[in-house]
Amino acid sequence: MSLLDVHGLTKAFGGVVAARDVTFSVAPGELVALIGPNGAGKTTTFNMVGGQLAPDKGEVRLAGEDVTHLPPREKFRRGVGRTFQIAQTFLSMTAAENVQMALMSRHGEARALRPPAGRRHREEALAALERVGMAGTADQPCAMLAYGDVKRVELAIALAGEPKLLLMDEPTAGMAPRERAALMTLAATIARERNIGVLFTEHDMGAVFGHADRILVLVRGEVITSGRPDEVRADPRVREAYLGETGAAVAMRATQKRA
């Protein structure tokens, strides 16, 4: 059975259709990439799945349950973790406190009045940071970390909710090439070892063709094709609407490297 079922999602902004009849599914442990030109509706689709945006039509099912109109916080409780295009962390807190906050919330302690918050679930938080390679800077304020490290902390926060489904909106945006590859490899490894389904958008063709099990191509709000990386790469429509010669070359290298 699939983990995430998206059926017929449609959203218009004042007459402009941003997403039309978007349908796809994600299985546990599967990495699905959503690609397409700017303004194709990737972020819109993403926010509808995540609950930040209400669709005009269509439904989102998580492990069979209809979650279309649940807000993000309810989706979190049902096992949806999320990272954002611009990393969203609590800048006034340390890396560890960021993860602890997510753990407190997961354990239903977010409104507890008994301090100190700083010591709750600290061991678990340190372990989560260790997993993403951030153990050394656990006690540094997030505001002081390099952007690549903030992205790792954000991944640790998302994982602290023990998600079944991980949504990553442009996980490597704003990162250096080597950091990009490392972050994608890390996310993919964790997802596979924990059997987490991953849906991600990305402009970096290396990341997409190097890691995705399946790729959906969105153009002007509609899914024009979907399939395995080699199928999508070979599709002339994708090449014309999105990849171009240079993109196709990068995609080719990434798939070859993988094999």
Partner 1 sequence: MTAPLLAVEGLSAYYGSAQVLFDVSLALVPGEVLALMGRNGAGKSTTLKAIMGLIAARAHRLEFRGRSILDLPSYRIARLGLGYVPEERRIFTDLTVFENLEVGRQPPRSGRTPWTPERLFSIFPNLAEMSGRRASEMSGGEQQMLTIARTLMGNPDAVLLDEPSEGLAPVIVELMTKAVLAMKSEGIAVLLSEQNLSFAAAVSDRAMIIERGQIRYEGSFAELAESQEAREAYLEV
Partner 2 sequence: MDLSFVVIQILTGLASASSLFIIASGLTLVFGVTRIVNFAHGSLYMLGAYFAATIISRLLDLHYGPVSFWCGVLLAALGVGALGVVMEVVLLRRIYRAPELFQLLATFGVVLIVQDVVLKVFGPQDILGPRAPGLRAPVEILGRRFPSYELVMIAAGPTVLGLLWLLLRKTRFGVLVRAATQDREMVGALGVNQRLLFTGTLFLGAFLAGLGGALQIPKSPATPRMDLDIIAEAFVVTVIGGMGSIPGAFLAAIMIGQLQAFGILIFPKVTLVLVFLLMALVLVVRPYGLLGRPEGPAPAHAAAFNGAPRPWGPTERRIALGTVAALALLPLAGDAYLLKVATEILILGLLAFSLHFLVGTGGLVSFGHAAYFGLGAYGAALACKHLSLPMELALPLAPIAAALGAAVVGFFVVRLSGIYLAMLTLAAAQILYAVAFQWVEVTGGDNGLVGIWPSSWASDRTIYYYLTLAFSVAAIAALRHAIYAPFGYSLRATRDSELRADAIGIDVRQQRWLSFILAGSAAGLAGGLYVFLKGSIDPSALGIPVSVDALTMLLLGGLQTVMGPVVGAAVLHGLKDQIMPLTDLWRLFLGCSIIVLVLLFPNGLVGAYEALRLSSTATKGAASARRREPDGAQSRPRAPLEALARSRASGAGGETSKADETV
Query: Which positions touch partner 2 (CB under 8 A)?
Result: 38-39, 42-44, 47, 50, 52-53, 71-73, 76-77, 81-82, 84-93, 97, 101-102, 104-106, 109-118, 120, 141, 143-144, 147, 150, 154, 157-158, 160-161, 173-175
Binds partner 1 (CB under 8 A): choice among 176, 256, 257, 258: 176
Of 174 and 227, which has the nearer Cβ to partner 2?
Answer: 174
Question: Is residue 41 part of the contact set for partner 1 (CB under 8 A)?
Answer: no
Q: Are 161 and 130 in contact (CB under 8 A)?
A: no
Shortest separation between residue 114's beta carbon and partner 1, angstroms: 37
d(CA 93, CA 180) in angstroms, rounded, equals 25
Binds partner 1 (CB under 8 A): choice among 48, 216, 218, 243: 243
Instruction: Give which of partner 1, partner 2, none residue 88 binds (C-beta under 5 to 8 Å, depending on kind).
Output: partner 2
* DSSP code for 117: G
Question: Looking only at residues 181 through 220 of this chain, which bind partner 1 when binding is defined by CB under 8 A?
Answer: 203, 205
Q: Are 208 and 35 in contact (CB under 8 A)?
A: yes
Instruction: Give which of partner 2, partner 1, none residue 86 binds (C-beta under 5 to 8 Å, depending on kind).
Output: partner 2
Question: What does the block give as tokens for 217?
Answer: 């191509």
Shortest separation between residue 90's beta carbon and partner 2, angstroms: 4
Q: Are 141 and 92 in contact (CB under 8 A)?
A: yes
d(CA 130, CA 126) in angstroms, rounded, equals 6
Burial, 98: exposed, middle or buried (Cβ in 10 Å; 0-12, 13-18, 19+)?
buried
Query: Going along 106-177, which residue ranges are E strands?
Result: 165-169
Of 32 and 158, which has the nearer Cβ to partner 2?
Answer: 158
Of 97 and 170, which has the nearer Cβ to partner 1?
Answer: 170
Centre a 10 Å sphere on the Cβ of residue 193 and count the other Cβ atoms it contains. 10
- Size (the chain), residues: 259
Question: Is residue 236 part of the contact set for partner 1 (CB under 8 A)?
Answer: no
Please give the distance of CA 157 from its chain centroid, rounded to a whole number. 12
**Binding residues for partner 1, per CB under 8 A?**
16, 36-39, 146-147, 173-178, 203, 205, 240-248, 250
